[in-house]
Each structure stands twice: as C-alpha cells, then as structure tokens.
C-alpha cells in the first residue's frame, strides 16, 4: 500500500483544528531565574498513576532550549477571562512578562491566579515529536481554582462552551 499523503499541510492543519481543546499556558523558570511561558493547546493527560501530563513545543519556539534545560514546568488551565493572557503568551516577545501578575509555585514556576487548575510537574521525558518536542511531566503539586467558563480553542479561534440545556448542572 502506498503511504503517499492525500493531504497538504494546510488541509492537515484545518482537519486537526476540528479537535476542540482547552488552552493552557505552560511556564517555567531557568536556573538563572529567567521566566518562560508559552500558550499551548497541545496539553493532555497521560496517566493517573503516576500522574503524568504532556505538551508539545515547536522546535521553532524561542524558548525551546530553555524549557528543555529546566527540571520543572507548570501548566495553567485557562478560563475564558484569561484570553488576553493567552494572546500575550502566544507571541514571541522579550517582554512577555512585563506587567503580568503571577504567583510562584513550590517549583518556582509562575502560576496565574484565576486559572481553572494548575499543575506543577517535574520533567520525566522529552520525546522527538517531528517539528515539535514532546514534554512529559509528573505532577506533584496541584491547585484547583474557582469554577468558571473554560477558554476553548477550535478551528483556529477561541470559543465559549455552550451549556447543554439538558444538563441540569448547567441549565
Ligand atoms: C491557542 C494557541 C495554542 C497554542 N499551542 C501551542 C502548542 O501546543 N505548542 C507550541 O509550540 N505552540 C503553541 N502555540 C504557539 C505558541 O504559543 C507561540 O509560538 C509562543 O509564542 C512561542 O513562544 P516563544 O517563541 O517565545 O518560545 C499556540 C498558540 C495559540 C494561540
């Protein structure tokens, strides 16, 4: 059977965009004390026991080498109120952190108040993921925020969760 692809890169992007996700900001702090942060929707759960999660970071990201050198990372699951923060950390910029308020976790990674949940992890594995590097971490510190509408991402844009009228908890 031929393994010739039947799609272009553009078509692949669009098809993958059919997968609705939440949005996170993954943060870290280098040994020199530099703060790192990137918006990522590639976050996913891997294992409950031990508690493991993953995200993938583009090889083109400026912070890739720095993230790889860190022993820890933190994942902030964003609420709909944090769109601005999401936009800010989705750009390569020297002053991403200017004027941003954050708390410091036990790992010294920045945590954003108002996030739906925050996980602090130590990095267990880095895997080759083609044009991305897959980071797998084991979570050991977790905080759950006040319930709020999650920030969602679908087909290249932010979306709001539409409550299901038949769901008593949402109705
Ligand atoms: C909703 C959303 C999700 C994103 N998810 C990822 C992701 O999972 N992995 C990634 O490498 N970049 C992702 N990006 C792009 C990065 O946030 C962006 O390239 C980041 O600014 C890289 O920062 P740096 O170049 O300073 O390291 C996403 C952007 C948006 C808007």
Burial of 145 from C-beta contacts in 10 A (0-12 / 13-18 / 19+): middle
Q: For a pLDDT cut of 90, what percent of the chain falls above it? A: 92
Q: Using alpha carbons only, how large is the chain's radius of gyration in Å? A: 17
- What residue's CA is closest to ligand 1, atom 5? 40
Average pLDDT, the chain: 96
Question: Is 9-160 assigned to CATH 3.30.70.20?
Answer: no
Distance (Å) from CA 84 to ligand 1 centroid = 14
CB within 6 Å of ligand 1 — which residues?
23, 38-42, 55-58, 61-63, 90-92, 153
CA dihedral 98, 111, 158, 166 (to 10 degrees): -150
Distance (Å) from CA 158 to ligand 1 centroid = 14
Residue 170 has what pLDDT?
60
- What residue's CA is closest to ligand 1, atom 7? 40
Cα 109-143-100 angle, rounded to 5 deg: 45
Distance (Å) from CA 25 to ligand 1 centroid = 9
Please tell me the pTM assigned to this model. 0.96
Encode pLDDT of 10-29 as tens digits.
Answer: 999 999 999 999 999 999 99
Establish how many alpha carbons lie within 13 A of residue 18's alpha carbon, considering only the half-sphere containing its beta carbon: 5
- pLDDT-based confidence at residue 167 (cuts at 50, 70, 90): confident
Domain boundaries, the chain: 9-160
Encode pLDDT of 106-161 as tens digits.
Answer: 999 999 999 999 999 999 999 999 999 999 999 999 999 999 999 999 999 999 99
Encode pLDDT of 62-116 as tens digits.
Answer: 999 999 999 999 999 999 999 999 999 999 988 999 999 999 999 999 999 999 9
Q: Which of 19, 39, 100, when mutated, tests ligand 1's pocket best, judged by the most ligand atoms within 8 Å of its CB?
A: 39
């Amino acid at each position: 059977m031929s393994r010739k692809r039947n799609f272009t890169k553009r078509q692949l992007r669009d098809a993958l965009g059919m997968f609705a996700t939440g949005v996170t900001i993954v943060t870290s702090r280098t040994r020199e004390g530099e703060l790192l942060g990137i918006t990522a929707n590639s976050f996913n759960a891997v294992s409950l026991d031990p508690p493991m999660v993953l995200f993938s970071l583009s090889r083109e990201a400026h912070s890739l080498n720095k993230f790889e050198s860190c022993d820890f990372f933190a994942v902030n699951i964003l609420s709909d109120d944090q769109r601005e923060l999401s936009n800010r950390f989705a750009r390569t910029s020297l002053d991403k952190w200017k004027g941003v308020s954050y708390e410091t976790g036990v790992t010294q990674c920045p945590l954003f108040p108002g996030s739906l949940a925050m996980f602090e992890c130590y990095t267990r594995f880095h895997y080759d993921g083609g044009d991305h590097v897959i980071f797998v971490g084991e979570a050991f510190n977790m905080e759950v925020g006040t319930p709020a509408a999650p920030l969602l991402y679908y087909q290249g844009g932010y979306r709001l969760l539409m409550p299901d009228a038949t769901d008593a908890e949402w109705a």
